[in-house]
Structure 1
Amino acid sequence: MPPERILIVTDEMEVGGSQRQIVHLLAGLDRQRWQPELLFFRSPSRLVDEVRRQGIEVHQLRKRGRVDPLFLLAYAALLRRRRFALVHAFSLTAELWSTIAATIAMSPRRRPALVASVRGLYLDASHTFWRIKRFIALRSCAVVANAQACADAAAAGTGVERRRFEVVPNGILVAPPLDDSARERTERGIGRPPGRPFALFVGRLVEVKNLPCLIRALARLPREQRPWLALAGDGPMRPRLAQQVAAAGLKADVRFLGERDDAVALMQIADMLVLPSWQEGMSNAVMEAMAAGCPVVASAVGGNVELIDPERTGLLFASDDDAELALCLQRLGGHPSLRQRLAGAARERMLATHSIARMIAGTGRIYERCIRQVRPAPAGEGAARAAAKGDA
């Protein structure tokens, strides 16, 4: 039997957590069972090149404006031409346009199975957002969340039964440890000052990450107890954060690294990863740090509380509490034995429960069930089943 052709869809392919999960999924799906392809609408990045290097066909349909009839017709034409067995969308816009395009492109008997996603808590989402999400959920064969907290939030927001939301945690690639020369090159490349604890943030510099809380926490500490902080990532908050750093007198203590493609290497040389977000789903940065043996201090929100067992696999602090965060930074910076203990337990947990193989296997099982659910039974099979029921 030839492999089933499936389509993974997202609105953008900038470097982010969901996009890295898409790359892992595309690379790991069994090619004897599946023929995966990628569709995105905007913001290409090096991740698109990585997908193409895997021999996976990539489609980009440019969408101009919130509603673009020409884009929608082009998407419908792609679905008709490629005859996908299943479409898995990873963002609200991708879900909405996939649902509409499939409806106008094909008859009900030929439509692909639709799989939707929940990748966050959506705490600030509008009533319109939840109405659209409900519309999608009720028309999907499955809705896959990456954390229990995300599934719970989506069920509450949409009013759809919780049992319709399935949880498949993100998978993390465990990198080999850096040798001494690679560690030295990486430290020298970012200008890490010798003799100071090194705190790292990895992610987009956006409002939801609540980086002002981290800067306030640093300012609370006397310099001899203050870790040196590197921010790996870029985004619209960077100018405002730079102003806050300067106003707090922290220019010598904070380094903006910009977007990086060596986040895991940075985690391997850091003394701690800090994630002060207002809300999080299942954070790839937290999981990558835990797998890399880097202790984590994170806000007690969303999926963070599912990943981190306080005082065992990391430290949690109350959301936006810069005083409590400062205490966590002080503890980790001043106690190497605590860092070592937390890092060891965190790495063991990631290896046991959050491998990429487990994520791919869990997603594949959902694909199998959804295709069976929407595919018409072969001729005669329905009558045979009815007759068997009548004999029972």
Structure 2
Amino acid sequence: EIEQAGFEVIVLGYKRQMWKSVSALSHIMRERQIDIVHASSYHPSLYARLAAIIARVPVILGYEHVIYNNKRMPRVIFNRLLAPFTDGFTAVGEQVANQVLEWNQYPREKMHVVHNGVDISRYQPAKLRIDAKEKLGFDPQKIIVGVVSRLDPEKGHRFLFDAIVKLSPKYDVQWIVVGTGRGADKVYQEARDRGIEKKVEFLGLRRDVPELLAAFDIYVFPTLQEGFPNSLLEAMASGCAVVASDFPGNLEVAIDQRNALIVPMRDSKRLTQCIEQLLQQPELAKHLGEQARHDIVENFSLQAYAGKMSGLYEQLCEKKGVVRE
């Protein structure tokens, strides 16, 4: 998919072979006269920043996108050692940035928060949601309540399942879960434990997520672990009425009673109440969805993201005296 989008992909083939990877990367950087290295995640960032130092790349950046539950001291030590040679760090959200600054003790002036963006031309409300449902083979007369996320217990599917136990006898709703992941078996078991596995449509990995979200009426996002939630951005851009947990990353985009309904994490009862409120009050659901779309277009578009990131690159290149004709 990356290649199809027009980008070159180079496969080194050295899985967790640190110095071979660093050597190969530094060779590529020197050969191609790379000006900026922006490296994500721990191992890729470690290897890439070491290679960039060896290759004398002018601008070196780290990219932070996850809030961790446990501090791993070897990683913290390596990050602190590389910090003086790193020109800056980007974080996808304020909460991610705060954790990184606290754990790794980076200088605050090196940290830049650049929220993720969403393609608002690809993710947008359907002109008629009923048509979007029909095109995908769903019953156009039923309300669709669903979630799109990695199948993992930390995403909180079990709290949605608790709500389904309470609401499915009362409302004729299509309950849909989209996604796959290493925790899929556990999530499936959570559904079986509640006896609702036949009430939920597990659609697995899908490439038509924009079309699916355009058919959703209500999007439920009870996550317990998130950096900054791309799937939430996509649902809001699609005009879904959102019920989301109060995990800090969610609160940087979802505002209770403005563009979403926010519930405490792990609170199945409150989650159930908010879903039922939207089922009973379609005008409220419509308002929240429209406001969500408006807020994403104004603040979290890909254009906004690209503008902020390119501005940072230009600022750092100017600071380091990088000039390319």
TM-score normalised by L of structure 1? 0.76
Structure-2 change in CA distance of 1:136 and 1:218 (3 Å): farther
Structure 2 residue aligned with 1:80: 30
Structure 1 residue aligned with 2:263: 317
Count of residue pairs the alignment pairs up: 321
Q: Percent identity?
A: 25
Letter of the 1:99 counterpart: R
Per-residue displacement from partner, 1:235-283 (whole Å, max 9, x unpaired)?
A: 1122222222123121232111111111121111111111111122221
Per-residue displacement from partner, 1:320-351 (whole Å, max 9, x unpaired)?
A: 11111111221122221111010111111111
Query: 1:194, CA displacement in angstroms?
Result: 5.4
Query: 1:185, CA displacement in angstroms?
Result: 4.0
- Flag the structure with larger Rg: 1
Using the alignment, how far apart are the partners of 2:88 and 2:205 within structure 1?
Answer: 34
Structure 2 residue aligned with 1:200: 146
Structure 2 residue aligned with 1:127: 73
Question: In 2, are the aligned partners of 1:282 and 1:304 still within 8 Å (CA)?
Answer: yes
Using the alignment, how far apart are the partners of 1:324 and 1:204 within structure 2?
Answer: 23
Superposed counterparts of 1:243-392, under 5 Å:
243-375=189-321
Letter of the 1:61 counterpart: L
Question: In 1, are the aligned partners of 2:152 and 2:186 still within 8 Å (CA)?
Answer: no
* Partner SS for 1:87: strand
222-231 or 283-292, which moves further after superposition?
Answer: 222-231
Structure 1 residue aligned with 2:132: 183
Structure-2 change in CA distance of 1:81 and 1:239 (3 Å): same
210-219 or 265-274, which moves further after superposition?
Answer: 210-219
1:100 to 39, 50, 62: 50
Per-residue displacement from partner, 1:84-134 (whole Å, max 9, x unpaired)?
A: 000111222221101111233x3xxx4231111121222334233333333
2:25 is the alignment partner of 1:71: no
Structure 1 residue aligned with 2:3: 49
CA RMSD in angstroms comes to 2.3
Query: 1:182, CA displacement in angstroms?
Result: 5.4
Query: 1:222, CA displacement in angstroms?
Result: 5.0
164-173 or 177-186, which moves further after superposition?
Answer: 177-186
Structure-2 change in CA distance of 1:136 and 1:128 (3 Å): same
Using the alignment, how far apart are the partners of 1:50 and 1:203 within structure 2?
Answer: 24
Using the alignment, how far apart are the partners of 1:217 and 1:129 within structure 2?
Answer: 39
* Partner SS for 1:115: strand
Using the alignment, how far apart are the partners of 2:159 and 2:71 within structure 1?
Answer: 22
Using the alignment, how far apart are the partners of 1:127 and 1:323 within structure 2?
Answer: 38
Letter of the 2:296 counterpart: M
Structure 1 residue aligned with 2:13: 62
Question: In 1, are the aligned partners of 2:119 and 2:301 still within 8 Å (CA)?
Answer: yes
1:139 to 85, 98, 113: 85
Point out where structure 1 has 5 or more consecutive residues left out of the alignment.
Answer: 1-46, 378-392
* Partner SS for 2:2: helix
Using the alignment, how far apart are the partners of 1:318 and 1:271 within structure 2?
Answer: 22
Point out where structure 2 has 5 or more consecutive residues left out of the alignment.
Answer: none
Question: In 1, are the aligned partners of 2:37 and 2:52 still within 8 Å (CA)?
Answer: no
Structure-2 change in CA distance of 1:228 and 1:132 (3 Å): farther
Question: In 2, are the aligned partners of 1:88 and 1:116 still within 8 Å (CA)?
Answer: yes
Using the alignment, how far apart are the partners of 1:252 and 1:196 within structure 2?
Answer: 17
